[in-house]
A and B are shown apart, each in its own frame.
Chain A
């Protein structure tokens, strides 16, 4: 291995392009152990070039119509196919109407070139601790449909991430659908991302919040942060602390301190742990404030 992060040519692999979901699942059953699923490829190709992974097979699901959709399902959930591009989600009125916090996150993701081919499923399955998309899904209480050729299961997203870049998916499973339940009409939402600059960047720390305000108290509050722990993480201590409490700067301030106990930021070439900790406190305060302002009632 080279001593600096260099890019190599991509090592050879067999390219499999199933024509429908059943075929994809069959291929995954056969080749899942030595293979990887590719949708947009924007993360995967870089990993291949860095030789961080070395799959013998790539199963391309991007073109599968069964995975490309945004609809309201029979239970009034917002259902998004895993191979739906960020661009499609960004432009979707349905998503903006029912899950604005997700719209906001997608809007700030990467560059147009990345949004045009990157997919929501690819982003989630990549399980980066910096995934901005995971945060709105965590606070929206989303679940993920995982299919294999022999079974189907629905997993709440908060159970999905195991550790850095690892999910609970089995080798033969494919993430097919993201299910977002309906939110309270009075819900206030907030998504804030801090990078190393104002222009597009990865998150140094990011946050999503959803809550309602009832009689000047916080209700149904859910907060998640990214880039401050091995996986995107719900701030449960903060949620428990604020539930039922009065809307006040003092409470928000205390909540932000509680939040610091739940995050474990690291120092890397992008930012120090101290800086991440410092702005996490600010983000928690700002996000709760913003969500409170947006909340109805």
Chain B
């Protein structure tokens, strides 16, 4: 097929409104008579609620309604286990657990009223370290105990593997709690109509899933709950669950007035889900020549107070923990543990960044122990087509080696590093990290649907449940649709994320949208096209197989003059009383893992990446400057290369932040840095030069060969930076973030400079 629209850069279809300031985000939506809601949250990390006294708050002028637990029809929710509450009834489990919600005429009044609500707590003992929480006598966060899940992978026999190894290397690592920090906070508006149907405008990455959750919480049939997407100001996993929707809906239902809730930035840091912090232990048996023989891994994940995405992210971690390498014997044990910390949820990378930073720094340690170049060690063991994963899945379209080669060439891995350091206290180093990341949900079905409607003038309406969170899905999906019909992009009108109208789509999560929804669009397009083809075939007295769609026309293959335009074909159908409607759905092929061995094919396919970083370390004050990053990513076919690169740059920025500066400081359950002043995300001044390289290892099961790659972009970054710091200084960082104090500490702890670790000509 002449791929004329896919594979090239077209500007984002939603860019114009955004640069004009006309794009409407949830807080830009306003209704006459609208109320403003504010949530009161727990003062304690673990406590029994004895009494909630709203009497003073209710008397404040302008307060219209105050809701507590008893006002919630079904007071539990949760993406996997429904153990989280809309409004806490008898117990709070973290400092952020919601206790009451106030609706008032203005935001200020609502906020003031929350401070007048008197909650009496009986403080319970709390636990904040997941290893402590595993102990027998630890305070129980949930009645069922603190061990929320234990996932296992068993491949081969690691004890045998260690026995036949020449060297055994061990490492531990700990990663931090970080937060999505999408610049638009969680915000939403709810309206109830005269028939009691609720409509919600609130950014969500998965409106269909949210609709089901919300309907259940509200005690309404799904047909009476509509979720519409306004413009969304970033996701990164932060909108992968319902958050503010229950409150605005309940208040709208009670007061019959429109209700808006916008979280403050402080609330974002305290109440949003966060990335699970992990303790990791790695033990690898390797041959002298660098062949990996056995790998044993232990992961202990801090779930925080509720289940959320804890188990599925832990499962993904376990599947990826051994790294993108061929290893015959692998044993992984992952433990998800409740604590009284903020709730771990979905965040870009979903368990992969944590295992990769541990595993890839561990690889450098192995390389240094064997006196092998770290790149060479990776090339030697890198997964290839036909290899099996730790779960026994046979791999296809593995673009890993090409990413290594192209990154290495662009970076100049084998050349000298840059110029001499300016003064003795600053040294430079380089580091590499490879990565593997899957497409779609782990183990579970996650279909996406699409509807296609052909209009009388040959333009196409495509309706999907996927949403635009900023990642460019609207554009990429429009390109795929345009490609399928052979029409210009502006003949495609894509409607997204309105549950009244859209077919089911699991959501824009797990890097699945281009792959799954794109495929669904192809299937729906095909179904519409076959109606057109059948009609045109009859008209032209040929077989439908003799026809093709090209440049907006349906014509006989090889005879472009013998055909009709799409518009004519649609009208032909109409004259016969037929409508041209197409529908379809696609579910990525995957299956459940065996609970004991982890055997199975949890994903349809994977993407791969190699990132290399050059850093400069000020060894006297511990500051690290990332000078440049080369990021080579196997993305499958790049539907829109410039937007693909945009994802790589954005992912690298997040990776740099989590490597060096981002960390939620939580003391006794209290978040001490709930703002951008003290939680530092990468600013433009700290952003290194990034060269993005696209490797198109086509995915046969994907639409036009595309994969889903966007989360993989921040997965290898931290390890590349940490490895570069070690290369520069010999200091082994084993905790994230590598802030200046930690770097100094690691410098002190490093062994003699002439230990057998790999370094280039450092000057």
Contacts and interface: CB of A to CB of B under 8 A. Distances in A.
B761 interface: no
A200 B683 contact: yes
Contacts of B115: 2
Contacts of A271: 740-741
A4 B686 contact: no
A271 B266 CA distance: 21
A201 B680 contact: yes
A269 B621 contact: no
Interface in B654-700: 660-661, 665, 670-675, 677-678, 680, 683-686
Given A9-B111, A278-B744, A279-B620, A197 B266 contact: no
Interface string A263-297: 00000011110110011001000100000000000
A17 B174 CA distance: 55
B685 A4 contact: no
Contacts of B685: 198-200
A6 B38 CA distance: 13
Contacts of A282: 620-621
Q: Interface SS of chain A: helix, strand, loop or mixed?
A: loop
Nearest to B677: A202
B30 to A, nearest CB: 19
B729 to A, nearest CB: 16
Nearest to B741: A275
Interface string A1-16: 0111111110000000
Contacts of B686: 197-199
A282 to B, nearest CB: 5
Nearest to A275: B741
Given A9-B108, A199-B683, A199-B685, A3 B670 contact: yes
A196 interface: yes
Contact of B744 (A200, A204, A275): A275
A194 interface: yes
A7 B621 contact: no
Nearest to A278: B744
Interface residues of A, number: 27
Contact of B621 (A6, A194, A200): A194
A197 B621 contact: no
Interface string A185-214: 000000000101111111010000000000
Contacts of B744: 275, 278
B95 interface: yes
Nearest to A195: B623
Interface in A1-55: 2-9
Contact of A7 (B264, B620, B671): B264
Nearest to A3: B43
B266 A4 contact: yes
B432 interface: no
B725 to A, nearest CB: 14
Contacts of A196: 661, 680, 739-740
Contact of B660 (A3, A194, A197): A197
Interface bracket on B: 35 or more
Nearest to B626: A198
Contacts of A8: 111
A129 to B, nearest CB: 16
A2 B684 CA distance: 33
B623 A5 contact: no
B759 to A, nearest CB: 23
A278 B740 CA distance: 11
Contacts of B675: 5
Interface in B483-501: none
Given A4-B266, A198-B686, A269 B674 contact: no
Contacts of A7: 264, 266
B348 to A, nearest CB: 21
A5 B270 CA distance: 11
A221 B349 CA distance: 53
B553 interface: no
Contacts of A202: 677
A270 B108 CA distance: 30
B625 interface: yes
A5 B673 CA distance: 9
A8 B264 CA distance: 10
A6 B266 contact: yes
A6 B672 contact: no
B357 to A, nearest CB: 19
B623 A198 contact: yes
Nearest to A201: B680
Contacts of B622: 275, 279
Contacts of B671: 4
B120 to A, nearest CB: 15
Contacts of B680: 196-197, 199, 201
B601 to A, nearest CB: 42
B678 A269 contact: yes
Contacts of A197: 623, 660-661, 680, 686
A12 B322 CA distance: 59
B670 A279 contact: no
B687 to A, nearest CB: 9
Contacts of A9: 107-108, 111
B107 to A, nearest CB: 8
B338 to A, nearest CB: 22
Nearest to B657: A197
A43 B740 CA distance: 27
A5 B111 contact: no
A194 B267 CA distance: 29
Nearest to A205: B621
Nearest to A202: B677
A10 to B, nearest CB: 9
A297 B683 CA distance: 41
Contacts of B684: 199
Nearest to B616: A198
Max chain B CB contacts within 10 Å: which of A197, A201, A275?
A197
A272 B672 contact: no
A199 B674 CA distance: 19
A197 B684 CA distance: 12
Contacts of A194: 621, 623, 740
Contacts of B665: 269
A5 B266 contact: yes
A270 B670 CA distance: 16
A282 B620 CA distance: 7
A297 B646 CA distance: 53
Nearest to B95: A3
Interface string B261-278: 000101100100000000
Interface in A246-274: 269-272, 274
Interface in B169-204: none
B683 A269 contact: no
A200 B267 CA distance: 24
Contacts of A275: 622, 740-741, 744
Contacts of A6: 264, 266-267
Contacts of B625: 198
Nearest to A269: B672
Nearest to A8: B111
A267 to B, nearest CB: 10
Nearest to A111: B683
Max chain A CB contacts within 10 Å: which of B270, B623, B674?
B623
A231 to B, nearest CB: 21
Interface string B583-622: 0000000000000000000000000000000000000111
A199 B656 CA distance: 13
24 contacts: A4-B95, A4-B266, A5-B266, A5-B675, A6-B264, A6-B266, A7-B264, A196-B661, A196-B740, A198-B685, A198-B686, A199-B684, A200-B683, A201-B680, A204-B740, A269-B665, A269-B673, A269-B678, A275-B740, A275-B744, A278-B744, A279-B621, A279-B740, A286-B620
List of 8 A-B pairs having minimum Cβ-Cβ separation, nearest first: A199-B685, A9-B108, A199-B686, A275-B741, A199-B683, A282-B620, A269-B672, A279-B621
Given A4-B670, A199-B686, A271-B740, 9 more contacts: A3-B670, A6-B266, A7-B264, A197-B686, A198-B623, A274-B741, A279-B622, A279-B740, A282-B620
